[in-house]
Amino acid sequence: MSFYRNAVWFVKGLQEYTKSGYEAAAKHFAPADLDVNLSGRSFMITGANSGIGKATAQEIANRGGTIHMVCRNKGRAEAARDEIVEQSKNQNIHIHIVDMSSARQVWEFAQNFSQSDTVHVLINNAGCMVNQRELTQEGLEKNFATNTLGTYILTTALIPALTNVEDPRVVTVSSGGMLTQKLNVDDLQFEKGTFDGTMAYAQNKRQQVILTERWANQHKEVHFSSMHPGWADTPAVQTSMPSFHAKMQAKLRTEAMGADTAVWLAVSAAARTQPSGLFFQDRKAVATHLPLASSRSTPQEEEKLMAALEEFSLKFKP
Assess whether pLDDT exceeds 90 at residue 247.
Answer: no
**256 lies in a domain?**
yes
At residue 1, the pLDDT reads: 56
The per-residue pLDDT for range 259-307, each reduced to its tens digit, is: 999 999 999 999 999 999 999 999 999 999 999 889 999 999 999 999 9
CATH number at residue 272: 3.40.50.720
Q: Which of 17, 22, 152, 201 is catalytic?
A: 201
Mean pLDDT of the residues in the chain: 95
Cα separation, 178 vs 122, whole angstroms:
21
By CB atoms closer than 10 A (0-12, 13-18, 19+), residue 133 is middle
Give residue 281's domain range: 3-193+211-315
Total domains in the fold of the chain: 1
At residue 90, the pLDDT reads: 98
Minimum mean pLDDT among 3-7, 207-211, 250-254: which range? 3-7
Cα separation, 101 vs 135, whole angstroms:
10
Q: Closest Cα to residue 191, out of 183, 182, 200? A: 200
**204 lies in a domain?**
no
Q: Quote the pTM value.
A: 0.96
**198 lies in a domain?**
no
- For the question of residue 17 being annotated catalytic, the response is no
CA distances in angstroms from 193 to 5, 29, 181, 199, 312, listed in the order given: 20, 44, 16, 12, 23
**203 lies in a domain?**
no
Evaluate whether 127 touches 258 at the Cβ level (below 8 Å): no
Number of Cβ atoms within 10 Å of the Cβ of 85: 15
Assess whether pLDDT exceeds 80 at residue 240.
Answer: no
